[in-house]
Structure 1
Amino acid sequence: MGRFATVDDDTIRRGECTDIYFVRTEEVLRGSGKNPQVAMEVTAAALPDEWAIVCGLDDVISLLEGLPLTVEAMPEGSVFYPGEPVLRIEGGYREFARYETAVLGFLCHASGIATAAAHIRRLAGTRAIFSFGSRRQHPALARMVERAAWIGGVDGVSNTCAPEGIPLVGTMPHSLVMCYPDVGEAFTAFDRFADPGVPRIFLCDTWCDEKRESMTGARCGAEGVRLDTPRSRRGNMRAILEEVRWELDSSGYPGVKIVLSGGISREDIVAYRDIVDAFGVGGAIANAPVIDFAMDIVAIDGEPCAKRGKRSGKKQVWRLPGEKHQTLPA
């Protein structure tokens, strides 16, 4: 049986998943008998948005556990701004040089997902946001993707490998509906055989007009209807949503909620949040731009020191009244 194209935990913990120049750096330092005591800080000079959310520190801690290092960081889930250090590592450089690749990888990816989720959460206001995007990433990353989305503020996630305690949410795929001769039979079967604790949210765009299938769903006991209409068939999505809401309300189903999914963007959240009760968001969270962190030496043997374009010395981030923030020498 073949192996998946992934790196196992032990390889990462041994520092063998690294950039080759770190291995060569260790060889050179060892050969010359040098192991300076350094302080290194992780910062991002620029962000996709005005602010971001730091995430992935749990993996960093797991990676560095047991090494003779001092590690300080912002709390997981903190808001940070360009140039602010989110993590500082102090110790003999040879002890952790090769781990820089993994440290940055953990932080860059998870922070990007958490940041995207947080901005979407803010735009959605009181509307529910669900992470439906784990299929847009390698399955080995599903736990990280869902955890980061949760830290960013989503109300639930779809992947069964999410960390314990994060609510699992999901409706039904088109393939389930297509296994029955008509949507009503599919909805009835779901209501009969799905766990009673699972919300009865029926997918109402498989064969016919969304309004018609939504009414069928309501008559079959739907708590909510999900619209996942393909972009090629959407036309005026607001008009479709308004029609569905009108028919449900006028037919005595005002309590049936509307869930919208399928390529949902930030712009969609803003456009439809007044009429949609919940959004299932995929790629806009899971495929978020990574945070472009860098990890740089800011002190050597206790003396402030930094490469060109960086600020030397250890730093402390302060939050001030009026949403102001400042970074000062530690």
Structure 2
Amino acid sequence: MSVSPGLLTDRYELTMLTSFVRDGSVDHPAVFEAFARRLPEGRRYGVVAGLGRLVPMIADFAFTGEEVDWLHAQGVLDEQSAAWLRDFRFGGDVDAYPEGDLYFPGSPVLTVRGTLGECVMLETLVLSVLNHDSAIASAAARMTTAAGDRPLVEMGSRRTHEDAAVATARAAYLAGFTSTSNLAAGRLHGVPTVGTAAHAFTLAHESEAAAFASQVATQGTGTTLLVDTYDVAEGIRTAVEVAGPGLGAVRIDSGDLAETAAMARTLLDGLGATETRITATSDLDEYVITALADAPIDGYGVGTRVATGSGHPTASMVYKLVAVGREPGGRLHPVAKKSHDKVSVGGAKTAWRRYDGEVLVEEWYRDDDTDQPGARRVQVPVLRDGRVVHDPPLTEVRTHCAAAVASLPAAARGVAAGPPYLTVSSKESP
């Protein structure tokens, strides 16, 4: 059973909506912001991801008649709020940091302006998409930096939910991975796909040589042969014997990867397969990839630690009301949360960055769109009156991400733990 984007939400959003409809505040103007109070411990920066998936879901955020009937029958909605929801469609404005851009503690990553009713319902959807994809992209960007010019393949589909696997592949690609094993990501998002064979393929044949011969016959000598099912050295010898010295690559998936790769390179060169590449997989992350920098490895396949929580601490973004009017069309008043360790800052904000070859500072002005000399506005218009006005292709997002990460000083791009490179500060206009 498929559901509308409107149902991809927590019940309490509609509990609040019902009260807003009852007390008449549902059509009061409001501004909500998504931001992170802090980065995961040791992280120097975050990467915004998921906007390309989120925007069309916001534009289509609505409920079918059957869904409204079900919500009413479940006691989620009363008659008045059910009637309000039947004709609902998001008609507000959204501004956001471009997908692939950097964010830091306090960055107003996404701003939603509209009525209180339409804005409050977006919270769960906004956070589920941005938190997941930004966590993936932030980890993937660090892995990309660690890998340097060696290509990275995302191959974590078997370690996460089937829909999350597609989002993971997309987020990893925009952050610098070169391809994915996930076919749905290729079909839906245009991410290049790659894949050869698993250990089961070798085990299904009478011998390793028979398995390699079958694969080469189908895929050609440029294929990648998995050589560690039994013994790596013997597997390499068999692979070159079957495919010849023009074999495309061998993959190593176990053991001490640095030591094994060095042995493999020496053996391949001795067999005349000097152009055969070595690909390494097996629980890789930015730390392991950094440790393998001097190993003769030509590319990496990353699965578990890019697709699951072991590879990307949560992005911890929140979605908070920062301004609200007291009547329809009324003047907005800043509001803020004051509870311990969960403070928010009232008022809509416009963020600007200053550069001198590298990003130097990020600061925001409250309720002021005035251009700031020598600074670049970070947010861009994404939806206006509920219609999409910003929809760059994923290749453009990928280019933007590479440039954004490159704008950090080398020390901030590295994998070593440290404080956030920037903390966004207020710089109120005179």
TM score, norm. by length of structure 2:
0.70
CA shift for structure 1 position 147: 0.8
Query: Aligned pairs, how many?
Result: 313
The letter for the 1-side match of 2:172 is A
The letter for the 2-side match of 1:27 is T
> What is the match of residue 294 of structure 1?
318
Cα distance in structure 2, aligned partners of 1:17 and 1:130: 30
Confirm or deny that 1:40 pairs with 2:52: no
> What is the match of residue 285 of structure 1?
306
1:315 and 1:327 in contact (8 A); partners too:
no
| 1:22-66 Cα shifts (integer Å, max 9, x gaps) | 222111111111132111110011122111111111232112215
> What is the match of residue 324 of structure 1?
360
* Residues 213-232 of structure 1: pairs in structure 2 closer than 5 A: 213-221=235-243, 222-229=247-254
* Residues 1-330 of structure 1: pairs in structure 2 closer than 5 A: 8-10=2-4, 13=5, 15-35=6-26, 36-48=28-40, 49-65=43-59, 67-162=90-185, 163-194=188-219, 196=220, 199-208=222-231, 210-221=232-243, 222-229=247-254, 234=255, 236-274=256-294, 275-287=296-308, 288-301=312-325, 302-308=332-338, 309-321=343-355, 322-329=358-365, 330=368
| 1:176-217 Cα shifts (integer Å, max 9, x gaps) | 1111111111111111123x5x94100000012x12211221
Cα distance in structure 1, aligned partners of 2:299 and 2:152: 6
Secondary structure of 2:184's aligned partner: coil
| Structure 2 unaligned spans of 5+ | 60-88, 326-331, 369-430
2:227 and 2:236 in contact (8 A); partners too:
yes
Relative contact order, CA 8 A, sep 6+: which one is greater? 2
Query: Which shifted more, 275-284 or 137-146?
Result: 137-146
Cα distance in structure 2, aligned partners of 1:106 and 1:164: 16
1:218 and 1:256 in contact (8 A); partners too:
no
2:31 and 2:119 in contact (8 A); partners too:
no
Query: Which shifted more, 81-90 or 156-165?
Result: 156-165
| Structure 1 unaligned spans of 5+ | none
Cα distance in structure 1, aligned partners of 2:3 and 2:300: 34
CA shift for structure 1 position 9: 4.0
Secondary structure of 1:40's aligned partner: strand
Secondary structure of 2:122's aligned partner: helix
The letter for the 2-side match of 1:318 is W
Cα distance in structure 1, aligned partners of 2:114 and 2:222: 51
Cα distance in structure 2, aligned partners of 1:166 and 1:17: 25
1:127 and 1:273 in contact (8 A); partners too:
no
CA shift for structure 1 position 280: 0.4
Secondary structure of 1:75's aligned partner: coil
Secondary structure of 2:250's aligned partner: strand
2:165 and 2:307 in contact (8 A); partners too:
no
Query: Which shifted more, 151-160 or 317-326?
Result: 317-326
CA shift for structure 1 position 268: 1.6
CA shift for structure 1 position 140: 2.5
Q: Percent identity?
A: 29
